[in-house]
Each structure stands twice: as structure tokens, then as C-alpha cells.
Amino acid sequence: MSPEPTRPAGPVHVLAEVLAGKRIGAFSHLTLAAPGVGERHRPGSFVAVSVGAPGERTRLARRAFWIHQVRALGGHAATVSLVVDPVGPGSRWLAGLSRGDRVEVTGPLGGRAFALPKEPVPVVLVGEGAHSAPLFALAERLRERDCPVHLLLGAADEAHLLSALEARRIARTVTVATLDGSVGVKGPTAALLPDVLRRSGAAVVYAAGPVPLLHAVARAAEDHGAWSQVALGVPTPCATGLCHGCPVPVVGEDGVGRTVRACAEGPVLRGDRVRWDDLSVPGDAS
Amino acid sequence: MTGPVRLAGLTLASPVLVASGCGGTGRELAGYAPLSTYGAFVTRTITLTARPGGPAPRVLESPAGLLHATGLPNPGLTAFCATELPALVQAGARVVVSVAGESVAEVAEVVSGLARTSGVSAVELALSLPDAEVAGVRTPREPFATTRLVEAAVAQLPPGVPLLAKIWPDPVRAPEHARAAVEGGAAAVVVGGAQPAAFPDGRHAGLSGPAVAPLALRAVAEVVKSLDLAGLRADVVGCGGIATVADARAHLDAGAVAVAVGSALLTDPTAAARIAEGLAVPERPAPEKPAPEHAAPEHVAPEQAEHPAPEHRTQEDPA
């Protein structure tokens, strides 16, 4: 379980072109031509979007989105797709963009992406809502390493459930939970964790989602005797490591408590390293 | 055309500085442009001992601005000098170290430590930290206290390492603090940073971004005039909401010799490099010198044509 070597090159800041914007359920799926971003992507890395046009901008905090998929499309070597949940003024603006629009994007960001196991061990991937986005590329990579992949996807309702069909293609088992029971088991995602971990015999649990889910994952993994790697979905005002605005209290390898930046030292952290009770989650300026 | 500039006796490659607290440790910014691009890299504020920083939220959006109260997370003087400072120098940065302390004696101790370390081009004394009370560091409200802190810091510095005093950006009171800082020995004053403000829950914070830019420009002009009238010789660095080449030019036209770009970097990490590049090319010459009464319209019209007003309404999502 050593972290992957550091990425080959740093992030870039580019004016990306929207190639496609598609509404699927509650989410808007945006495909961007963002030269240099997709090429360097690893599962768990993310992009920061600037809201509004330069010079007319009045919303200055950046909006972070997981890189969902990277693929070649129409002459672009590595387009980047994002899953946007339009819940705030920034994300609504982004979700409203259409083909040909331009948006400033920085990426791929993150000092630490998901680390892959050296052995072909069983793994569980847990995600909630739009935060499940980075898990699909991760599942592909894990499958290439012959790791049996089990997916646990949760959402408020079916409209907020990300790509369950796609999930069945890449995972050995897929378990779905929705709060309203519109699809899958009715109830919170975390309630199914112990059962999924036991059935899969997982050695590693990967998770992406809101902090309460990640906390539950870290606890369940520890109870089960598995490693956990959690991708923090916390607000990152600059997302690039410059502002020190996304503090995460952790315990270092030396056992000493310290505070790291979710964007620069994360976004993927070992679940047992985060001091969850000290992690306050401010309202998201999404 | 703006090439190398002289600031506080130093020759800098560009009049564009990276403002304190907005460049990370330097490493994060270096990926977007070499740190030698900037006139100087002003570090986040360094204190005598390490600080973990304050609780979240530390940075919040407000209309055309960012509210921030980080609680000065930093590794402390010793660790900074051992790790971050050498890395900055190695990356080609001209390093200006921002400092603060809980007392006059502590400020002097930090500056004294920096004075014994190579690679420090200048020291910026943070006299206007908007969340100072919470962070427990000293920021003077009265000019005599500004003088006292500046004197204590300057006394520790060897010749050739100037002190920059970053003063409150209040356009009315900035001039008296600027004079006080220069009388205390500051070689330059940095004017127009974050305005004292509050988070919605009342916690002390600083307000930065385009929202404060007009205030900053006024403060710079007032300080330049006031130092001039008092016959005090010191350079002025303008900062506060500078996000475009035009913003930077406005500060230089107001009499600043350099500008510090801060919060703009948080939205676009290439902003300061872009502004430095923009300042390095000659201004587009006016076609001919217009008669004074026509000056404004002729100058404004082509700019507007290039950037048509956006139709914001079409972007609104009915949901």
C-alpha cells in the first residue's frame, strides 16, 4: 500500500471549450476540451472551475469537480468529463453551459490520488451522488490489475444516482442504496457498508463523497480490518494549494497531529489518518 | 513599458509581486510560471513558532470578494528557514518574508532570525492582519505603535535588506500610518491589502478581491501624496483586488513603484504572471493625442467593443 509515485507534471490553467453538455437525471454531464488536463489525470484527481467570464467575475471561490472520465473525442486526445450537481449559483452556471461555451479550468489537481494495491486483492468502492464520479476510472484501473471490484453506490433518489448501468459493466457486484428507496435498498449508504465489506472480503475500501459517508467508511474499514482511502469532497476555495482554505486535521505517520490542505496534500487520504471529529465542514459555496 | 524596477533599493525583474498569503509555499505556484517571473514572492506570514491555523471555514466567497481568516498557518521561523526558504530561492524567487508576532520583542526576534539567514531579499512587516486579534498577533491601530514595531524590526536588519511595512488600507488613515512607518525606518510601504471585515457569523476576517480595488487605489494615491508632502522618501507598493493589467497600471499611475497580486491568484493561478507579462509590453499608443474634451470617449469606446457586455440572464438556470 505505498502511494503512487508523484504525477509526472503539475496542473495547467486553460480556457476549456465545452464540447457537450448533457442532462442525465439530476446531473449535468459536461465534456470539456481542456488541453493538458486529461493527459495527466489519475483516478482521484480533480479540476477547479472558475465561475463566470474573466473580467466580469463576481464569484471568486473555485468549484472543484472530480474528473469523471477521460477519453479521445472528435480530434481531442483527452477530453475531460465532469458531473455537475446544480445546487448553488456556481454549479448552476456551469450546468447551464452548452456546446461552444468557454470556461477557465485548472487541473489535474491534487497532491495524492488513489493508490492502487500491488496485489490483486478484492476492493470495495463507495460513492454517493455526483461524488461517485472518480470511482469509475478507478474501477477500470483496478480491474486491469485483476482486483475483484465491488461497488456500493448511494444517493438521495434515483435521479441523483450516478451511472448504475455503467457500474454493472465494470464491477463484479453493484449494491445500490437510496434514501427514498426509489432504486436499490432504502436507507443511507453507510448502513450497507458492513455487509458489503464482509461479502467481498475487501482488503481496501475506496470512497468518494461527503464527509459523514467518508467517516463511516473509515470506521467500517477499520472494524473489518481493511485499509481505506477516502477522497474528500470538501469546499476548496482556490483548489491549488495557495490559500490554505481547506484545512483537514490529520495524524501524521509520526503520530503527531497536524493540519493539511485537502487540495494539496489530498484529496485522497488514508481514512485512519483523518481526525474526523475535528473536521468541521463548512457550507459548500457550490 | 515596465521592465526591471527599483523597490526599496532592490532591483526587481518585474513590478509584479506575489502578495503574502496567496502563493502557498511557492511550490504550488511554481507549476504555472517560474517564480523568477515575479518581482518578488512575498511569503505567507511567518511567526516565531509554528501555527496550525484556524478552523474552517477559512475562506468564503462574498460579492466580488473573498473573505479570509486563515489564522496564519505556518511552520514557524526555524522550519521555514530550513525548508521553505531554500526551496523558494532554489526555484528562482526573490524572497520577501512576511512576518508578524505577538509582541514587539517577538517581531524583533523573528526579524533577527531572518537577518541571519541568506536568501531573504527583504522583510515585510504585516501591520494590517484583519484577523490579528483572533490569531493573537500584534497589529497597531495608532501610528506611534506602527513606528515602534517598524523601528524594532529595522534595528535587526543588516544594510541592504530593506523593511517593507504593510499598513492598514483605510484610505483616510493609511497616510498617517505610512508616515509613521517611514519615520520608523521602513524603506517602502505596502498599501491596500485586505480590508477588515467579518464572516456572516461575526468572526473577524479580511475582505480581498475586486470588491476592495477602488478603496486600495484611493489609499495608494493618498499615501503617495502624503509622503510627498511630508518630504519622506519611501517607495509604495500597491495591492488590493488587482486582477488585470489595467488594475496594475492604475496603481503605477497613482505613484506605486510595484504592485502585489494576491486573491486574483486564487481564481486564476496564472494571474500574476499574466499581469507581469502585460506590463512588460508597451501600452498600445493612442492613435493621436486627442483634445482633452474627447479624451475619455475615444479611449473607452474601442475597449468596450472588444468586450461586449454579456447577457447574464441567459445563463440563469430556472431551477
CATH number (domain holding residue A132):
3.40.50.80
Same structural domain for residues A265 and A198?
yes
User: What is the distance in angstroms between the Cα of A220 and the nearest Cα belonging to chain B?
Assistant: 26
How many whole angstroms separate alpha carbon B161 and alpha carbon A195? 65
pLDDT at A273 over 50: yes
Q: What is the CATH number of the domain that holds A43?
A: 2.40.30.10
Domain assignment present for B194: yes
Q: What is the enclosing helix (H) or strand (E) of A73?
A: strand A69-73
Instruction: Give the end of a domain, one of A109, A131, A156.
Output: A109
How many whole angstroms separate alpha carbon A51 and alpha carbon A48? 10
CB contact A285 to B (< 8 Å): yes
Same structural domain for residues A42 and A156?
no
Asked whether the CA dihedral B73, B79, B82, B83 is positive or negative, the reply is negative
**Structural domain span for residue B184:** 5-286
What's the average model confidence in pLDDT over A23-36?
A: 95
CB contact A10 to B (< 8 Å): yes
Same structural domain for residues A104 and A195?
no
What's the average model confidence in pLDDT over B106-118?
A: 96
Q: What is the CATH number of the domain that holds B252?
A: 3.20.20.70
Q: What is the pLDDT of residue A280?
A: 75
Q: How many CB atoms lie within 10 A of CB A101?
A: 16
**Structural domain span for residue A245:** 123-278
Domain assignment present for B112: yes
Instruction: Give the end of a domain, one of A65, A85, A109.
Output: A109
Work out the mean pLDDT of chain B and round it to a whole number: 89
How many whole angstroms separate alpha carbon B20 and alpha carbon B22? 6
Q: What is the pLDDT of residue A284?
A: 54
The model's confidence at residue B164, banded by pLDDT at 50, 70 and 90, is very high
Same structural domain for residues A268 and A138?
yes
Number of structural domains found in chain A: 2
Domain assignment present for B293: no
Domain assignment present for B106: yes
Same structural domain for residues A19 and A82?
yes
Same structural domain for residues A129 and A267?
yes
Same structural domain for residues A130 and A247?
yes
Domain assignment present for B300: no
Among candidates A86, A247, A280 on the partner chain, residue whose Cβ is nearest the Cβ of B319: A86
Domain assignment present for A7: no
pLDDT at B297 over 50: no
**Contact, B119 vs B89, CB < 8 A?**
yes
CB-based contacts of A15, cutoff 8 Å, min separation 6: A102, A103, A104, A105
Instruction: Give the end of a domain, one of A65, A80, A109.
Output: A109
Domain assignment present for B313: no
* Residue of chain A whose Cα is closest to the Cα of B201: A282
C-alpha distances in angstroms, B244 versus B66, B267, B278? Answer: 17, 12, 9
Q: Which of A30, A236, A242, A278 to mutate to test the interface with B (most CBs of B within 10 A)?
A: A242
Domain assignment present for A272: yes
pLDDT at A7 over 50: no
Number of structural domains found in chain B: 1
* Strands, sheet with A46-49, edge to edge from the N-terminal-most edge strand: A63-66, A46-49, A102-109, A12-24, A27-33, A76-84, A69-73
Same structural domain for residues A51 and A168?
no
CB contact A259 to B (< 8 Å): yes
Domain assignment present for B295: no
Same structural domain for residues A32 and A73?
yes
DSSP state of B84: I
Residues of chain B neighbouring A259 (CB-CB closer than 8 A): 52-53, 73
User: What is the distance in angstroms between the Cα of A229 and the nearest Cα belonging to chain B?
Assistant: 22
* Residue of chain A whose Cα is closest to the Cα of B270: A13
* Residue of chain B whose Cα is closest to the Cα of A109: B28
What's the average model confidence in pLDDT over A83-107?
A: 95
Give tens-digit pLDDT for B176-226: 999 999 999 999 999 988 999 999 999 999 999 999 999 999 999 999 999
Same structural domain for residues A144 and A244?
yes
Domain assignment present for B44: yes
Size of interface A-B (CB pairs under 8 A): 130
pTM equals 0.89
Give tens-digit pLDDT for B130-158: 888 778 888 888 999 999 999 999 999 99
| Pairing, β B40-42 against β B235-239 | unpaired
Only one residue has cell 511595512, namely B165
Same structural domain for residues A65 and A159?
no
Same structural domain for residues A105 and A127?
no
